[in-house]
Amino acid sequence: MLRLSFLLSGLLLLAACQPEQPVRTVADCDQTPNAAYTVRHPAWADSASIYEVNIRQYTPEGTFRAFEAHLPRLQKMGVGILWLMPVQPIGQLNRKGTLGSQYSIQDYRAVNPEFGTMDDLRHLIQEAHKLGMHVILDWVANHTSWDSQLSQQHPEWFTRSKAGGFQPPVSDWQDVIDLDYSKPELRRYMQESMAFWLREADFDGFRCDVAGLVPTDFWNDTRRELEKVKPVFMLAEWDELFPPTFLRPEQFSPDTKLLEKAFDMAYALRLHGLMDSLATGKAPTADLDKYRLAETQRYPGSVYLMNFTSSHDVNSWDGTEYERLGKNALPLAVLAAMLPGMPMVYSGQEAALKKRLRFFDKDTIPWNDYPLQDFYTKLLQLKKRHPALLNGDACAEFETLPASSSPEVYSFVRRRDDKAVLTVINLGRQPHQLVLRTLEPGNFRELFSGQILKLGASSKVLLPAHSYRVYEQIAPPPRKGLW
């Protein structure tokens, strides 16, 4: 679907009125769960990163079987969850482009023959499971294609225009028509269809398109029903605090709480927009602390938010990270990976993809020998193995180091017990020497260079323009004995 825009300026204005965020330490941690948040994340998700798979554009063949050859590479890269864009047949009526939008579903319980067969899909998921990865399916519950099976067999399940005909949920989405969730039969059908994919293909959960346009009570009920089949991971494409600009006012409610009973994770959309502003100098890095304050006031520490610099929507409609973020594309990718939240990588980011992929037509990714494979591998593998970087750990410590004299520099430490990771970035056009005024002393290994340093209060780090450093605290070498 079209990108979810948001009111970033409103967030910054709200956050500016809030008191300074206290530093939460492990010793102060309250491990009592928030009673309103009943979702219990699968154990395999606590150290996972997520990777969005665009089957159509991934290979020249554009098939499940062709993509399957990439599984070992992605597993070595540190990917824990594979998110497959919709795999169902695409409608023909009012189709956009030659191949249509993958979010214009014609049949909820079938496989798009352009991608392969159900057996091909099952094999792909089996192989991913063998490699220790889990797979979720992009689910489009809000609307179908004009010529969908549901529009033909159950036209009473759709909302109607003033003239009595089918209508898009949003004016620009002319290739799809809106479903009516006041119909109990539709709700049962949609739940049964989602359970079908768990049973028939062994998916591990769903990424749910424009989840906030579907009633929250449907998602709450659906989560309970799906858990009867197997434990699931649920990702909502939504932000609970600020509305997408393409919505009518009545389509958004600030009381929507998708993460309490239904979803494991939602998009960190405001962080995404803030990073766009940081890249161009429109916002100072101090606004990252205002962003984090707003999030911690809204959610308990157990909640997951998904951090990203690109996605299928962002790449096609807003531009590549190199168009939007320029020379700060990699520093901000580091920020997305190291801030609290689950990092997401989109198909082709490890290829330093510098073109917008066509959304409705074939447009194969030029991989160019994966120039950023090692970059993402270092980040995702650190995320996977380091206890201070766990997802949803309410007892982990996050500390912003004292403000630099430059509004383009940001540094923070994440700790769990005696394990720590220090991240520093410089988004400016000039080098900067950062003084680590309050860092607890220790030995650190820089993630990308392998250099080992002793760092502590008053240590200095020289940051070139548009640069990043990630330091993992390591145990000091044993002292040599006297014999």
CATH code for the part of the protein at 399-474:
2.60.40.1180
Let me know: does 144 contact 123? Beta carbons within 8 Å.
no
* 3-state SS class at 176: strand
On the CB side of 73, CA atoms within 13 Å amount to 16
* 3-state SS class at 327: helix
Confidence of residue 437 (pLDDT cuts 50, 70, 90): confident
Mean pLDDT of 78-103: 98
Q: Which residues are within 8 A (CB) of 60 and not within 5 positions of it... i.e. 6 or more apart?
A: 66, 364
* Helix or strand (DSSP H, E) at 225: helix 216-227
Least-confidence region, from 43-57, 123-137, 448-462: 448-462
Instruction: Decide if domain 20-397 falls under CATH 3.20.20.80.
Output: yes
pLDDT exceeds 60 at position 431:
yes
What is the tens place of the pLDDT at every residue in 261-276?
999 999 999 999 999 9
* Helix or strand (DSSP H, E) at 444: strand 442-446
Mean pLDDT of 72-93: 98
pLDDT at 264: 98
Question: Model pTM?
Answer: 0.92
pLDDT at 481: 53
Let me know: does 359 contact 101? Beta carbons within 8 Å.
yes
Token pair belonging to 115: 């991608």
pLDDT at 416: 95
Residues of the chain above pLDDT 90, percent: 84
The neighbour count for residue 187, using CB atoms within 10 Å, is: 20
Mean pLDDT of 286-307: 94
* Helix or strand (DSSP H, E) at 69: none
Burial of 80 (0-12, 13-18, 19+ CB in 10 A): buried
List, by residue range, all CATH 2.60.40.1180 domains of the chain: 399-474
Q: Pseudo-torsion of CA 124, 127, 131, 135, nearest 10°?
A: 30
Mean pLDDT of 355-365: 98
pLDDT at 8: 37
Alpha carbons 140 and 157: distance in angstroms, whole number: 15
What is the tens place of the pLDDT at every residue in 405-423?
789 999 999 999 999 999 9
What is the tens place of the pLDDT at every residue in 394-404?
999 999 998 66
pLDDT exceeds 80 at position 187:
yes
Amino acid at 296: T
Confidence of residue 9 (pLDDT cuts 50, 70, 90): very low
Largest CA distance in the chain: 93
| CA nearest neighbour of 71 among 139, 132, 112 | 132
Q: Compute φ and ψ for 431, nearest 5 degrees.
A: -65, 160
Q: Which residues are within 8 A (CB) of 5 and not within 5 positions of it... i.e. 6 or more apart?
A: 244, 245, 246, 273
Top pLDDT among 296 and 21 is at 296
Alpha carbons 397 and 420: distance in angstroms, whole number: 9
Alpha carbons 147 and 94: distance in angstroms, whole number: 9
* 3-state SS class at 307: strand
List, by residue range, all CATH 3.20.20.80 domains of the chain: 20-397
Alpha carbons 126 and 363: distance in angstroms, whole number: 27
Mean pLDDT of 64-86: 98
Amino acid at 153: Q
Alpha carbons 240 and 299: distance in angstroms, whole number: 10
Q: Pseudo-torsion of CA 342, 350, 376, 4, nearest 10°?
A: -20
